[in-house]
């Protein structure tokens, strides 16, 4: 049986949230705030406890990277999960913010 995974983005000029749904049920989220015009600080990633360990955080991470690339954004990884994922994946490092 395959799971239907969907991610929705809700944002305004100051902050945003990627909401993860599995089979149309809320399953997790990733939040960020705009620090500058083209810089976002990702401050939280969470997956519902009963779904941890299934690799769902990676779907949020891939959506974040796609969003950052499409919108010419740089990412400050305040969230420990995002920081580790960027360190481990050279493709993700393209969007890493540096002063």
Q: What are the sequence ranges of the domains in the chain?
A: 5-95
pLDDT value for 91: 94
CATH number for the domain formed by residue range(s) 5-95: 3.40.630.30
Comparing CA positions, the residue from 31, 74, 22 lying closest to residue 51 is: 22
Query: pLDDT tens digits, residue range 28-77?
Result: 999 999 999 899 999 999 999 999 999 999 999 999 999 999 999 999 99
pLDDT value for 3: 86
pLDDT value for 22: 96
pTM, to two decimals? 0.94
pLDDT value for 2: 73
pLDDT value for 97: 97
Weakest mean pLDDT among 5-9, 15-19, 49-53: 49-53
Helix (H, G, I), strand (E, B) or coil at 98: coil
Comparing CA positions, the residue from 91, 66, 55, 97 lying closest to residue 81 is: 55
User: In the predicted model, what is the mean pLDDT of residues 5-22?
Assistant: 97
pLDDT value for 99: 80
pLDDT value for 1: 46
Instruction: Confirm if 87 and 77 have CB atoms less than 8 A apart.
Output: no
């Amino acid at each position: 049986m395959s799971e239907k995974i969907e991610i929705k983005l809700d944002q305004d000029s100051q902050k945003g949230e990627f909401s993860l749904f599995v089979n149309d049920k809320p399953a997790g989220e990733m939040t960020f705030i705009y620090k500058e015009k083209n810089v976002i600080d990702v401050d939280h990633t969470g997956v519902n406890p009963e779904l941890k360990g299934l690799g769902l955080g990676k779907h949020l991470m891939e959506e974040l990277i796609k969003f950052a690339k499409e919108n010419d954004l740089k990412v400050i990884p305040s969230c420990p999960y995002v920081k580790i994922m960027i360190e481990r994946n050279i493709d993700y490092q393209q969007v890493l913010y540096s002063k």
